[in-house]
Structure 1
């Protein structure tokens, strides 16, 4: 295997030198583990050309094909449920009940976040509860292997290629490590940021409540959140919630739970 990897790396490097087209170098996607080890050195060559340093390349070389991630990616059935069924499955009543207590317990933190970003506690707490059960379920997968596998997989390679480049940049900076644990798709922290989102909107340690919630508020503000405007469907700030997650039932659930946590019916 080592000689094969070395040969592929040498081929890719030679292609750069000889001026071959980028299409000749492009790392090919696959639909199973068979080609993953051969794909890594090709992707590494492209990553070096984009400025990824030694730490990021070394981390990429250590990744493995994450079969559990692929299985999870093919099984996202809950987003196809009705809104009522989705909210029951995700435990919305428990999220609202505990969320109200979390709002009181962390009143100073939420007041500070709202003052800075204009986002009230409700939707932030709803996202926090929905994503990780208020930080209790952050995943135990190798973040980089999950994202590298999805970048290699033919289902959504462009989207996860961007995520992989972002993860490698964060590793180069020392913000993330090659051993970082996350959820099935590589999300990390208490509100589950993907690396590109972390790179663009992270404002603290995402493993802490304050860092994760502040970063989430920063994301929403950057996507058009207007201080004091409503966030239910049809209201101005609902569009920002839609940018957080593309699933309609998820968006609606966050709006409903957020309203209930903030004191609405």
Structure 2
């Protein structure tokens, strides 16, 4: 082999080695049981470190536990297969409407300011607030980081929840969330149950505070096409924004119906 060919071969070998060193590592391996969770955490920690997540936040991730209760809840969401009437009865629709009407009156200034800023009337916001947490009374008691890390590891919807896990780690890095943050089964937090990626995009403050949570919810709806003054029932322009909030058809219809009843419709 000529010296020039030897030099060319050496250059290509060096480039190949450099590429192997700088190329991203394979994604952490998902699983369907608790058995592989600790190994997955080790893999994911390396990816998170490469993306700039701090050592202290990675340490919090490493301290998480496999959340079996979250997996059970994720596999058992049967209420979304109910009819609208059954769903409203199960979730306490009449009580939500009654309480929503009362809060619309007692917190009129807050809802007026939200509507002026975002164009969203009180009804759908109160329906969401009531449906999600019983107006703040049931915000969940699961460790948020463990729940989302478990769902990111779980093969069923790993890609979806991995985006939320990175968002949660960023929020912890910024001090906007604590590693000990409690929430619902899928990692939702606050008065209206925001996922971490939505907090990054639409959050307007501490979501444990009802005014911040309601402003953030209206901000979400506006960002998803809400038009001031347009209707929000199925087939009307603003129903699409409600659909963006939750993928379940029966949930969407329930929010639209209760919102109309709270806003004064039949």
TM-score, with length taken from structure 2 = 0.91
Residue in structure 1 matched with residue 215 of structure 2 by the alignment: 214
What is the CA distance between 1:55 and its match in structure 2?
2.8
Residue in structure 1 matched with residue 111 of structure 2 by the alignment: 110
Does residue 68 of the first structure (1) align with residue 81 of the second (2)?
Answer: no
In structure 2, the CA distance between the partners of 1:88 and 1:16, relative to structure 1 (3 Å rule), is farther
What is the CA distance between 1:48 and its match in structure 2?
1.3
Does residue 86 of the first structure (1) align with residue 87 of the second (2)?
Answer: yes
- Between stretches 249-258 and 51-60, larger displacement belongs to 51-60
Residue in structure 1 matched with residue 152 of structure 2 by the alignment: 151
For residue 264 of structure 2, give the secondary structure of its aligned residue in structure 1.
Answer: coil
Report if aligned partners of 1:55, 1:171 keep a CA contact under 8 Å in 2. no
Distance 2:248 2:163 in 1: 21
Report if aligned partners of 1:54, 1:172 keep a CA contact under 8 Å in 2. no
Residue in structure 2 matched with residue 41 of structure 1 by the alignment: 42
Does residue 246 of the first structure (1) align with residue 247 of the second (2)?
Answer: yes
Distance 2:159 2:55 in 1: 23
In structure 2, the CA distance between the partners of 1:36 and 1:16, relative to structure 1 (3 Å rule), is farther
Matches within 5 A, 1:122-201: 122-201=123-202
Distance 1:55 1:255 in 2: 43
Distance 1:20 1:116 in 2: 47
Unaligned 5+ segments in structure 2 are: 1-16
Residue in structure 2 matched with residue 95 of structure 1 by the alignment: 96
What is the CA distance between 1:17 and its match in structure 2?
8.9
1:20-46: CA deviations, max 9, x gaps? 754x53100000000101110110111
Unaligned 5+ segments in structure 1 are: 1-14
Residue in structure 2 matched with residue 205 of structure 1 by the alignment: 206
For residue 155 of structure 2, give the secondary structure of its aligned residue in structure 1.
Answer: coil
Residue in structure 2 matched with residue 7 of structure 1 by the alignment: none
Distance 1:56 1:16 in 2: 29
1:118-167: CA deviations, max 9, x gaps? 00000000000000000000000000000000000010000000000000
Distance 2:115 2:152 in 1: 36
Residue in structure 2 matched with residue 19 of structure 1 by the alignment: 21
Count the aligned residue pairs. 250
Root-mean-square deviation (Å)? 1.4
Report if aligned partners of 1:132, 1:138 keep a CA contact under 8 Å in 2. yes
For residue 25 of structure 1, give the secondary structure of its aligned residue in structure 2.
Answer: coil
Residue in structure 2 matched with residue 229 of structure 1 by the alignment: 230
TM-score, with length taken from structure 1 = 0.92
Distance 1:224 1:236 in 2: 8
Runs (4+) off by over 3 Å: 15-18
Distance 2:18 2:37 in 1: 21
What is the CA distance between 1:19 and its match in structure 2?
2.4
For residue 232 of structure 1, give the secondary structure of its aligned residue in structure 2.
Answer: coil
